[in-house]
Amino acid sequence: MKKVIPVIVAIVLIIIIGAAGFGAMLLEKYSYSKERADLEEYFGIEGENDVPIILHDERIEEHAKIFDDKCYFDIATVHKYFNDRFYEDKAAQLLVYAMPEGLWTVDIGTTAFTDLGADFEAVGKVLDYAVSRYEDGVLYIEADFVQQYSDFTYELFTEPNRMQIYTEGVERQTAPIIKDTQVRYQGGIKSDILTEVSEGDNVVILEEMENWTKVKTQDSIIGYVENKRLGEQTTETLAPPPNNMPSDYKANTRDHKINLGFHGIYGVDGNDTLESVVAQTKGLNVISPTWFSVTDNEGAFSSYASTDYVERAHAMGLEVWALIGNVNEESANVDMYELLSRTSSRWNLIRNLIATAKEYQLDGINIDFENISLDAGEPFIQFIREISVPCRKYGIVLSVDNYVPMDHTDHYDRAEQGVVADYVIVMGYDEHYNGSKEAGSVASIGFVEKGIENTVAQVPANKVINALPFYTRIWETKGTGVQSQAVGMEMAQEYVANHDIAIRWDETTCQNYGEFQSGEGFCQVWLEDADSIRVKLNIMEKYEIGGVAAWRLGFETPDVWNVIEDYMNGT
Residue 10 has pLDDT above 90, yes or no: no
At a CB cut-off of 8 Å and minimum separation 6, what does 206 contact?
Answer: 57, 213, 214, 215, 216, 222
What is the rounded CA–CA span in Å between residue 556 and residue 487?
10
186 and 153 fall within a common domain: no
What is the rounded CA–CA span in Å between residue 52 and residue 59?
7
Residue 3 has pLDDT above 90, yes or no: no
At a CB cut-off of 8 Å and minimum separation 6, what does 421 contact?
Answer: 384, 388, 398, 399, 400, 463
pLDDT score for 262: 98
Query: Helix H segments across 149-200?
Result: none
Q: What is the largest CA-CA distance in the chain?
A: 137
148 and 188 fall within a common domain: no
pLDDT score for 518: 87
Query: Helix H segments across 113-174?
Result: 143-148
Please count the residues of the chain: 571
192 and 273 fall within a common domain: no
Angle at 269 between CA 261 and CA 366, to 5 degrees: 35
Q: Which of 395, 419, 416, 335 is nearest to 369 (CA)?
A: 335
Residue 552: asked if its preceding bond is cis (omega within 30°), the reply is yes
pLDDT score for 571: 87
Backbone angles phi, psi at 132, to 5 degrees: -140, 150
Burial class (CB in 10 A: 0-12, 13-18, 19+), 59: middle
80 and 138 fall within a common domain: yes
Q: Does some domain include residue 519?
A: no
Q: Does some domain include residue 317?
A: yes
Please tell me whether residue 286 adopts helix, strand or coil conformation: strand
H-run or E-run covering 287: strand 286-289
Contact status, residue 175 vs residue 205, Cβ threshold 8 Å: yes
Label residue 2 by pLDDT band (50, 70, 90): low
pLDDT score for 252: 97
Label residue 154 by pLDDT band (50, 70, 90): very high
Q: Does some domain include residue 231?
A: yes
CATH code of the domain covering residue 211: 2.30.30.40
What is the rounded CA–CA span in Å between residue 563 and residue 273?
24
At a CB cut-off of 8 Å and minimum separation 6, what does 255 contact?
Answer: none
pLDDT score for 28: 52
286 and 352 fall within a common domain: yes
271 and 396 fall within a common domain: yes
The residue type at 296: D
Q: Does some domain include residue 17?
A: no
Q: Which of 281, 335, 271 is nearest to 303 (CA)?
A: 271
What is the rounded CA–CA span in Å between residue 2 and residue 357?
122
Q: Are strands 319-325 and 292-294 parallel, antiparallel or unpaired?
A: parallel
82 and 215 fall within a common domain: no
Q: What is the mean pLDDT of residues 195-203?
A: 98
pLDDT score for 21: 54
pLDDT in tens, 207-238: 999 999 999 999 999 999 999 999 999 999 99
The residue type at 462: N
pLDDT in tens, 341-354: 999 999 999 999 99
231 and 265 fall within a common domain: no
Give first-to-last CA distance, the chain, whole Å: 121
Q: What is the mean pLDDT of residues 428-455?
A: 97
Write down which residue in 403, 427, 451 finishes a domain: 427
206 and 322 fall within a common domain: no
Contact status, residue 133 vs residue 67, Cβ threshold 8 Å: yes
The residue type at 287: I
Contact status, residue 188 vs residue 212, Cβ threshold 8 Å: yes
H-run or E-run covering 386: helix 377-394
pLDDT score for 519: 81
Express as a percent the part of the chain with pLDDT over 90: 94
CA distances from 154 to 81, 86, 137 (A): 13, 19, 26
Angle at which helices 445-456 and 530-542 cross, to 10°: 20
Q: Tell me what the pLDDT averaged over the chain comes to.
A: 95
Write down which residue in 185, 206, 238 finishes a domain: 238
Q: Which residues of 322-340 are buried (b: 16+ CB within 10 A; e: fewer)?
A: bbbbbeeebbeebebbebb
264 and 350 fall within a common domain: yes
Residue 259 has pLDDT above 60, yes or no: yes
What is the rounded CA–CA span in Å between residue 562 and residue 556?
12
CATH code of the domain covering residue 315: 3.20.20.80
Q: Does some domain include residue 543?
A: no
Q: Does some domain include residue 460?
A: no
Label residue 520 by pLDDT band (50, 70, 90): confident
Q: Does some domain include residue 31?
A: no
Could you tell me the residue range of the domain that residue 125 belongs to? 42-157
Query: pLDDT: is 60 or 479 the higher one?
Result: 60
What is the rounded CA–CA span in Å between residue 96 and residue 139?
13
Total number of domains in the chain: 3
CATH code of the domain covering residue 126: 3.30.457.10
221 and 306 fall within a common domain: no
Residue 517 has pLDDT above 70, yes or no: yes
Query: pLDDT: is 287 or 18 the higher one?
Result: 287
H-run or E-run covering 314: helix 307-315
Burial class (CB in 10 A: 0-12, 13-18, 19+), 551: buried
pLDDT score for 20: 52
What is the rounded CA–CA span in Å between residue 301 and residue 387?
15
pTM here is 0.93
Write down which residue in 238, 269, 297 finishes a domain: 238
DSSP letters, 191-245, are: SPEEEEE-TT-EEEEEEE-SSEEEEE-TT--EEEEEGGGB---EEEEEPPPP--S
Backbone angles phi, psi at 306, to 5 degrees: -140, 125
Backbone angles phi, psi at 204, to 5 degrees: -90, 130
Backbone angles phi, psi at 383, to 5 degrees: -60, -45
The residue type at 187: G
Please tell me whether residue 157 adopts helix, strand or coil conformation: strand
pLDDT score for 6: 66
Q: For residue 186, count other CB atoms closer than 10 A to its CB.
A: 13
pLDDT in tens, 369-398: 999 999 999 999 999 999 999 999 999 999
Q: Which of 238, 298, 288, 294 is nearest to 265 (CA)?
A: 288
Q: For residue 149, count other CB atoms closer than 10 A to its CB.
A: 18
The residue type at 463: K
175 and 199 fall within a common domain: yes
Contact status, residue 560 vs residue 533, Cβ threshold 8 Å: yes
Q: Does some domain include residue 378?
A: yes
What is the rounded CA–CA span in Å between residue 221 and residue 214?
11
pLDDT in tens, 94-108: 999 999 999 999 999
